[in-house]
Chain A
Amino acid sequence: MKLPIFMDNHSTTPMDPRVLEAMLPYFVEKFGNSASRNHAFGWEAEEAVENARKQIARTIHADSKEIVFTSGATESDNLAIKGVVEMYHEKGDHIITSSTEHRAVLDTCKALESKRGVKVTYLPVDKAGMVKPEDVRNAITDKTILITIMMANNEIGTINPIKDIGKIAKEKGILFHCDATQGVGKIPVDVQDMGIDLMSFSAHKLYGPKGVGALYVRKKAPRVRIAAQMDGGGHERGMRSGTLPVPLIVGFGKAVELCEQEMPTESKRLSAMRDRLQTAITSKLEEVYLNGHSTQRLPNNLNLSFAYVEGESLLMGLKEIALSSGSACTSATLEPSYVLRALGVGSDLAHSSIRFGLGRFNTDEEVDYTAKRIIEVVTKLREMSPLYEMAKEGIDLKSVQWAAH
């Protein structure tokens, strides 16, 4: 086993060597511009791009003409939301989203509120982090032009009832955008069955290269139109100008194909490892709380709060393991994770949260090592924690008059 261990696969994933192998010819040898229609270099590049487009479309049950390549999921979210608002502004000015969306969706909505006067409803989520389809239905007005709800949450891994939301959107004739950055490659995604009209996702979350993503834009029933946010040579059917990064796209296609092929076995392996990690930790430590949904969650996600221990100090004690914390001790606002707060997790436990993101290259040995180290460091930090001491003395921490600062 090699240290440090990477167990932060929601932030990014290491590229699969098979993906790199597929990309390599497209840097030096096959360097053509896929938009060059008049020579063999261009044709070769175009063929590679179209092949990747087919691989990606097949995986999400779309047509290859419905895939628009972008620089990543943030751009896809921006293009989908701003593109729909601009294109359909005569029809209405209301968007429905949820409070636990990624910042790429939330901040895009906020920008539209302040710059274009668009009205946005931020739906609450339940204790497990799930959006209730009925809340979506109740928020719809005659001015609603877009519903944008994420497939799976990047912090807690909770999977939303996308198909039910898609059904409501169809019934009401409202476009449905889904940020599926954490979903594609991890769980089966079918844009037809789920009733999705626009969908964002990214290569580097599924063992592909950084710097490339895609937006699925439905072509039929209904034909979705979006206003381009990048003007230029009219690439990607006019929706996203700019020379295509051929090697990245080839890698993206290969990465998606590998995820699809390996998903049945890989998702079982990941969830077994995840459960092994959770059991190892909770069997040795008291007052450890699961954040998110106990069953409807990504197979590779585990988000735990360790009472009386601050998350950042826990990570500092685990320097040889790459993890992430909902404690925003380093952020300017000093506010802990807005996702955990939206679930109703208290600020104290939000500060105590750790996100484990398992991936293709993690092993049982790494899981066992991580569990052992978590137990050691939490035990050490609890010894150091005045809150733990007070709790052990039988003091109810909620009854203490704290001097907030």
Chain B
Amino acid sequence: MAYSEKVVDHFNNPRNMGSFKKDEDGVGTGIVGAPECGDVMKLQIKVQNDTIVDAKFKTFGCGSAIASSSLATEWLKGKTVDEANQIKNTDIVQELNLPPVKIHCSVLAEDAIKAALADYKKKSGEQQ
């Protein structure tokens, strides 16, 4: 199967690969997927004044899964929490030109965004 140029680019030059400390202030962490399914994504956001100032990812999965999460971190940066909630998997499919068999990678990335946002909201709610 041939990968789109954008998938190859994200795979070769992943954006924002790495980790924040989970207990750091303003950090939300989402881990989705399962090793048995061949995909696990960890997506983290760092929020200041309701704006995502930084994002990081680590992914176990195929090239499309890595590219989907790498792209998600790019898109998250600079967005407000509410704006980030609007990111849809179909946007990722379109941007990366994912074929039908790889749509689940984009779904996983959307799930990871949602999970990271939920974790952030839970943590900031606890603090207030």
Place the interface of chain A in its size category.
20 to 34
User: How distant is B28 from chain A, measured CB to nearest CB, in Å?
Assistant: 15
By beta carbon, the residue of chain B nearest A385 is B60
Give the distance in Å from the alpha carbon of A385 to the alpha carbon of B69 in the complex: 12
Interface flags for B6-45 (1: CB within 8 Å of A; 0: not) read: 0010010010010100000000000111111111111000
In whole angstroms, what is the CA distance A308 to B40 when docked? 10
Q: Is the interface of B mostly helix, strand, loop or mixed?
A: mixed
Asked whether A117 is an interface residue with its Cβ less than 8 Å from the other chain, the reply is: no
How far apart are A164's CB and chain B's nearest CB, in angstroms? 35
Report whether B1 and A310 are in contact in the complex, using a CB–CB cutoff of 8 Å: no
Q: With A313-B63, A405-B32, A405-B104 given, is the CB distance from A385 to B37 under 8 Å?
A: no
Shortest B33–chain A CB gap in Å is: 6
Let me know if B78 is at the binding interface, CB within 8 A. no
CB distance from A345 to the nearest CB of B (A): 12
A316–B11 CB distance below 8 A: yes
Which residue among A312, A329, A332, A405 has the maximum number of chain B CB atoms within 10 Å of its CB?
A329
Chain A residue at minimal CB-CB distance from B7: A316
Size of the B side of the interface (Cβ < 8 Å), in residues, is 32
Please measure, in the bound complex, the distance between the C-alpha atom of A387 and the C-alpha atom of B32, giving whole angstroms: 12
Once bound together, how far apart are the Cα atoms of A216 and B101, in whole Å? 40
Is the C-beta of B3 less than 8 angstroms from some C-beta in chain A? yes
- The yes or no answer to A334 lying at the interface (CB within 8 A) is yes
Tell yes or no: B52 within 8 A of A by CB.
Answer: no
CA distance A329 to B60 in the complex (A): 12
CB distance from B69 to the nearest CB of A (A): 10
Q: Complex Cα distance A405/B40, Å?
A: 10
Would you call B60 and A309 a contact (CB within 8 A)?
yes
* A402–B33 CB distance below 8 A: yes
User: Contacts A316-B11, A403-B32, A404-B36 given; 15 further ones with Cβ under 8 A?
Assistant: A310-B61, A310-B62, A312-B62, A313-B61, A316-B3, A316-B63, A330-B101, A336-B38, A383-B17, A384-B58, A384-B60, A386-B41, A387-B35, A402-B34, A405-B33
* 11 intermolecular pairs with C-beta atoms under 8 Å apart: A330-B1, A348-B36, A351-B35, A386-B59, A387-B35, A387-B40, A388-B60, A389-B19, A397-B35, A402-B33, A405-B108
- A residues near B (Cβ < 8 Å) are 308-310, 312-313, 316-317, 327, 329-332, 334, 336, 346-348, 351, 383-389, 397, 402-405
> CB within 8 Å of A: which residues of B?
1, 3, 8, 11, 14, 17, 19, 31-42, 58-63, 65-66, 101, 104, 107-108, 111
